């Protein structure tokens, strides 16, 4: 496994983790009734997810062009982080809406 591969894996994990953390900050802000801050954090969470998605899209594009990407436990772990971040961000968005209706 080469360094470039590990950089891709770590990039996905890093961006996904940033997104999840920002979504959690949004949830904390919403609990305090600061919906402007919650909105700002959610925008940042979306941006971080877009960064992770762009890394993933690059992999998919290369795969479609015939450049096979090795799938191992590291890549599975990175994809797991990404999917969990997406799910968490989506749920936080729902919770924020609930807090706003209080």
Whole-angstrom distance, CA of residue 11 vs CA of residue 47: 14
77 catalytic? Reply is yes
* Residue 36 marked as a ligand binder: no
Contact 25, 93 (CB under 8 A): no
- Tell which phi-psi region holds residue 28, choosing left (phi > 0), alpha (psi between -120 and 50) or beta: alpha
Catalytic residue among 15, 24, 53, 77: 77
Annotated binding-site residue numbers: 80
Annotated binding-site residue numbers for Mg(2+): 80
- Active site residues per annotation: 77
């Amino acid at each position: 496994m080469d360094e470039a591969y590990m950089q891709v894996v770590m990039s996905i994990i890093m961006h996904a983790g940033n997104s999840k953390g920002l979504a959690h900050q949004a949830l904390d802000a919403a609990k305090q009734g600061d919906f402007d801050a919650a909105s700002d954090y959610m925008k940042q969470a979306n941006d971080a997810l877009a960064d992770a998605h762009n890394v993933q899209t690059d992999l998919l594009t290369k795969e479609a062009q015939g450049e096979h990407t090795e799938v191992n436990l590291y890549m599975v772990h990175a994809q797991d982080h990404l999917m969990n971040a997406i799910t968490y961000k989506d749920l936080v968005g729902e919770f924020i809406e609930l807090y706003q209706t209080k």
